[in-house]
Amino acid sequence: MNDLTVPSSLRQLRLDALRGLAIIWMACFHFSFDLNHFGWIRQDFYRDPFWTGQRTAIVSLFLLCAGMGQALAQHQGLSWSRFWRRWAQVAACAVLVSIGSWLMYPDSFISFGVLHGMAVMLLLLRVSGRAMSNRVCVLLGTVAIGLPQWVQHSFFDTRLTNWLGLVTHKPVTEDYVPVLPWLGVMLWGYALARWLLRARPALLAGPVPAFLHPVAVLGRWSLSFYMVHQPVLIGLLMLIGTMRT
């Protein structure tokens, strides 16, 4: 969700706005999914390219922003202690997502979704990012994205091992964001932000139009929004459903 480490006083409004646009897109996607779940529309969210393509694009945009945010955090010299505090929030929210999805979808609950993946990938990036050049980040990111297409084994098909991503088939789950290939997207975002900071800093630091300020604020609080939006949407649809009967 958010970049996890940059305090509000050091934010880049353009990155916040980009993340805000991603979370608005995600909320619209989830609202459509909820309408389908309650039978108000009939769509195949698991096989229809219109929906699966959107999911891929939304997750990619989030992880690109997360990689960029981590590069900004390191550039601004933010401490490990602050990183651990924010990382713990993401990890705790990931656990809550697993519990909530198990209560609602016991046969397809989320054991390694976007927050689980981000917690692991951000830690990897925090540990190793400084030691890698941008070229190495882009190269490793490309390998990470391609590796699940080249290497697959049934060993990775269980809930205890599918977090790596080298599965022979996608698991039955409501959300699945394994380290591979998604670490590659985060590495690309990390390299992109470092390049922008060096070569085109104004692209990150410039202002945003006034109508995008609320979107930037939403992007700043994206983790909180992510955690509350589905319970709110589902609760509203259930309430409306009872009023219609």
Instruction: Label residue 205 by pLDDT band (50, 70, 90).
Output: confident
Number of independent structural domains in the chain: 1
Q: Distance between CA atoms of 183 and 177, rounded to whole angstroms?
A: 9
Mean pLDDT lowest among 79-83, 94-98, 133-137, 225-229: 79-83
Whether residue 60 is contained in a domain is answered as yes
Report the chain's mean pLDDT, rounded to a whole number: 91
Query: Domain for residue 213, yes or no?
Result: yes
In a domain, 170, yes or no: yes
Residue 144: inside a domain, yes or no? Answer: yes
Residues spanned by the domain of 198:
8-244
Tell me: the pLDDT tens digits for 61-120? 999 999 999 999 888 888 889 999 999 999 999 999 999 999 988 999 999 999 999 999
4: left (phi over 0), alpha (psi -120 to 50) or beta: left
Asked if residue 1 is part of any domain, the answer here is no
The pLDDT value recorded for residue 11 is 61
Q: Of 243 and 193, which is predicted with more confidence?
A: 193
Q: What angle do CA 163, 100, 217 make, to 5 degrees?
A: 85
| Residue at 32 is within a domain | yes
The dihedral formed by the CA atoms of 227, 217, 85 and 198, expressed in degrees to the nearest 10: 130
In a domain, 185, yes or no: yes
Measured in degrees and rounded to the nearest 5, phi and psi for residue 36 equal -70, -40
What integer pLDDT is reported at residue 2 of this predicted model? Answer: 46
Q: Which residues pair with 112 in a beta bridge?
A: 176
Residue 2 within any structural domain of the chain: no
Backbone angles phi, psi at 112, to 5 degrees: -150, 80
The reported pTM is 0.90
Q: Band of the pLDDT at 147, cuts 50, 70, 90?
A: very high
